Homo-oligomer: A and B are copies of this chain.
């Protein structure tokens, strides 16, 4: 059984929220691990609204320090404190965030009941963290201030034990994790059953690429190539290419071109400018270039692979 690997859209709006769309945040889930990708104003309310287990989040990745990507963080940390959180939380962001959070603590004379560990993201591509199941790498974006996307990669697929084999050899539960990693089965009488007889190959590790905000560029295509799911900002429709350049953002077509060049399996666009009420024409423009495109819609849960 592959791990549950999916992302929930908490905010899909560009800089200015609308009455229907919040600014950027996603809750990424891998089995029982929850991480936040950006944390805009209102994220804690969205987490509650969609009945997510907000106390389980243990890592927060902030792409950059424009308000529409991090202004929900001080409130979420205060809420964790008030709810009596004890578990550490790790926050990854370009330099500057710790100073902001420290200032909010100081003026309110509140220090949280748990440890907040800040990790600064630096230029280049960095391995930010690695759990049992997945790792997270930074992707350098091109924006007005230092900005990073995130590549979330399954560490390795686990081989599947054939169903009929479990019963036939009465495999002890204790041996299963090793067998899934490729070890042979050793029976009580010493008999060795080769791994390839009792398992099927692991599926290839799945990859989620989260790219927000960025100018149109080829600089990270190689890093996101082959991703199972690419979230890419598409702030404007194609006729506003000039505005997109001026504001270092992308259009629908540019997001779709990126998906095509990187040969990803599926594209999800989002970060829509507040000027757009309906999004169907957004989707249509992207689909013309990259057919397997979906819209980021708040509340929806999108499987990575």
Contact = CB atoms under 8 A, between A and B. Distances in A.
A19 B48 CA distance: 5
Counted per complex, copies of this chain come to 2
A22 B41 contact: no
Given A18-B48, A104-B100, A107-B100, A67 B78 contact: yes
A236 to B, nearest CB: 14
A226 interface: no
Interface stretch (A68-76, A204-212, A237-245, A259-267): A68-76
Contacts of A16: 79, 82-83
Given A48-B17, A107-B100, A41 B72 contact: yes
Interface in A13-55: 15-19, 22-23, 41-42, 44-45, 48-49, 51
Interface residues on A, range: 35 or more
A4 interface: no
A109 interface: yes
Interface of A: 15-19, 22-23, 41-42, 44-45, 48-49, 51, 65-68, 71-72, 74-75, 78-79, 82-83, 96-97, 99-100, 103-104, 106-110, 144-145
Closest 5 CB pairs between A and B?
A96-B107, A19-B48, A65-B107, A67-B78, A41-B75
